Every structure is written in C-alpha cells, then in structure tokens.
Structure 1
Amino acid sequence: MDKPITILLAEDEPALGQIIKESLETRHFKVLLCANGETALETYRNQEPELLVLDVMMPKKDGFTLAKEIRAIDEQIPIIFLTAKSQTQDVVEGFSIGGNDYLKKPFSMEELIVRIDNLLHRKTLQITSELLEIGKYHFNFPKQLLFFENASVQLTHREAHLLFHLVKNKNKVLDRSLILNKLWGNDDFFSARSMDVFISKLRKKLQQDAEVQIINVRGFGYKLVF
C-alpha cells in the first residue's frame, strides 16, 4: 500500500478544521491540523508535509505571512489558501507570494480534494518522472525510493530532498548554509547537527556501492561523487 500523502491544514475555526481533516482522511490523506500560524510553522518544520492548506485569517500568524516564511524555505511545496475574503487584491496577493490555488469559503469538500489532487499530480510531473542514477543505485525522488539491484529502501521526506539536491549538484559542493535554510528553515547549530545526522543516514543507505561517496568539504558543505 502506498504511503499516505501528508497535508498540513492550518484553520482556526475548530469545527471547520475538523470537518476538513476528517473528509481528507477518508480519502487516505494524513492530516496535521493546526489552529494558528505559529503552530503550523513549527509543525511544517518538524513533520515535513507534502502540501499546505492555509486559512488566510488566523491568530498569531496569518496565512499569507506563514506562506511567505515557508516559501523562503521551500519553493516547491504546493499551497492552497482558504479565505472568506472576496476582494480581487487579496486573491492577487495570495498568488504573488507563492500560493498555487485559492478557495473562497464556503466551498465543497469535493472541490478541495480535486484541487489537492491536481496540485500533487502537477508537482510530481514538475520534479521528475525519471529514475536518477547514483552509481549502481537508482533514485525515484517523487516516491522517495532508493533502489539497489532488486531491493528498495524508503527514504523520509527530508532524506529524499537532501539526496535530490546532492544529485543535482553532482561533483559540486552543495552549500551548507543554503541547503540548511532551504530544508530546515535556518542554519543554526542545532539544524546543522540535524543535517549531519541525515548525511550519515544517507551514507549508510548508499554504502553498497563503494564508488558513491558524500564528502564533507569543511567550512563549505557536502559533495556527492560517483
């Protein structure tokens, strides 16, 4: 059975949030429900969702501000805004800061699900539909799978994104600060230590081909060579 897609839902109306959550779960999505923008940002950083559904008007941090902060970290994750506002300028602002779609309340659950499915399909096509070669390994980024001969290993969301960036910069140094800000949201000490752990995990998963190495370039970053 395929791993369920994880959706981060930020909605401050408890009843509506629960209705959306339960409806999406009946379609086999995993839903992380947050009641405000601050909690949503923390959940995004810790849980690595694959799509965001953000209410625009929320306490502590509104949906537009939240989207701007996440877009600075991740340029690819699909974002759908939910809003009771109907002014054209609000719609324009939503798209200008990186939103992919916009639903005005009230809306039908079927419409939300169709839009989610469309964005997820588009994201997969945009990233890559081909297996990436890493020495004797093959890497399916959209499915987060690493293949060696007849065996496969499931990667986590962050492992897959880190490996994808390493592959795309093959034989070049992947700037440590840049990738920390992109995948972790900052480049502080704790995030750097977390990244080191993920690099160690990837090295173990790539160790069956001795020609494949992730080299630590001290003071700069990492380089994937094969």
Structure 2
Amino acid sequence: MPEPAHILVAEDEPLAAMAMEDFLQRKGYRVTLAQDGLEALERYRNDPADLVITDMRMPRMDGRALVRELRGLSAALPLLVVTGFMPMEPGQDDLTSDIWKPLEILRKPVSPQVVLDTVHRLMTARPTA
C-alpha cells in the first residue's frame, strides 16, 4: 500500500492549523504542522513534503520568505498560500508570477473543500520524478 502524500502546513493560528490538519488527515494525507516559516523550513528539510500550505503573515519568517526558501530547495514543489493578507508592495516579488509556479493563492476565509480541491489539483499537476 503506498504511503499517503505528505502535506506541510505553516500556520501561526493554532485553531486554523489544527482544523486544517484534522480535515486533511481525514482525507488520507499525512500532515505536519509548523507555527511559522522558520519551523516550516526546518521541518521540510528534515522530512520533505509533497506539498506545502502556508499562511502569509507569520512570526519569525513570513510566507513570502518561506516560498523563496522552498523554491531554492525544490523548484517544482507545489505550494498553496492561504491568507487573509496579500500585500503587493513595490519592490516585492509578485507571487502570482509564473516563476513561483506551481503556486496557488486562496484568500481567507476559505472552505475546507476549496482547499482540498486545490490540493488535489496541485498534486495531480506536479511532474513525476
């Protein structure tokens, strides 16, 4: 029996993180939680995920910096940004640019089903090694 796909969730709001973890586990995924970008990066290095879901605003390392770091480790890693705040300030890389693909952005509040549908789409679109 194949191992379940591994999803790393970087979310600093404990209730949101636990709800996403519970929902994704019930759908058959193995889920690892991280409270911020630095913890997510450390966890990814120790146990690479098949997909990363990240918030944008987090302490220590925000989602934008996490995306940049993860892209340096794996250019094809599927990424899902789930955030209520998405700044597009001058001088910052626009995460909607093709250089960040495969990456999807969902705005909070978002239904668990929309997250699941997006995860499925990103996972099935990723290139096989």
Same fold by TM-score greater than 0.5: yes
Distance of aligned partners of 1:69 and 1:86 in 2 relative to their CA distance in 1, 3 Å threshold = closer
Normalised TM-score (structure 1): 0.52
Equivalent residue number for residue 43 of structure 1: 43
Give the counterpart letter for 1:121 in structure 2. T
Give the counterpart letter for 1:15 in structure 2. L
More strand by share: 1
Q: Which has the higher contact order (CA 8 A, sep 6+)?
A: 2
Name the CA distance, whole Å, in 1 between partners of 2:36 and 2:73: 19
Equivalent residue number for residue 98 of structure 1: 100
Equivalent residue number for residue 224 of structure 1: none
2:115 maps to 1:112: yes
The CA RMSD measured in Å over matched residues stands at 1.6
Name the CA distance, whole Å, in 2 between partners of 1:86 and 1:77: 21
Structure 1 runs of 4+ with >4 Å offset: none
The question of whether the paired residues in 2 share the 8 Å contact of 1:81 and 1:94 is answered with no
1:160-171 paired onto structure 2 within 5 Å: none
CA displacement 1:128-151 (0-9 Å, x = unmatched): xxxxxxxxxxxxx4xxxxxxxxxx
Name the CA distance, whole Å, in 1 between partners of 2:108 and 2:40: 20
CA displacement 1:28-84 (0-9 Å, x = unmatched): 100000001111000000001100001000000000001101101110110010111
| Alignment counterpart, residue 125 of structure 2, candidates 122, 125, 146 | 122
Give the counterpart letter for 1:95 in structure 2. T
Q: In the TM superposition, what is the alpha-carbon distance from 1:121 to its structure 2 partner?
A: 0.4
The question of whether the paired residues in 2 share the 8 Å contact of 1:4 and 1:29 is answered with yes
The question of whether the paired residues in 1 share the 8 Å contact of 2:57 and 2:85 is answered with no
Name the CA distance, whole Å, in 1 between partners of 2:85 and 2:54: 13
Question: Per the alignment, in what secondary structure is the counterpart of residue 110 of structure 1?
Answer: helix
Question: Per the alignment, in what secondary structure is the counterpart of residue 115 of structure 1?
Answer: helix
Q: In the TM superposition, what is the alpha-carbon distance from 1:93 to its structure 2 partner?
A: 1.9
Question: Per the alignment, in what secondary structure is the counterpart of residue 64 of structure 2?
Answer: helix
Bigger radius of gyration among the two:
1
1:12-91 paired onto structure 2 within 5 Å: 12-85=12-85, 89=88
The question of whether the paired residues in 1 share the 8 Å contact of 2:12 and 2:59 is answered with yes
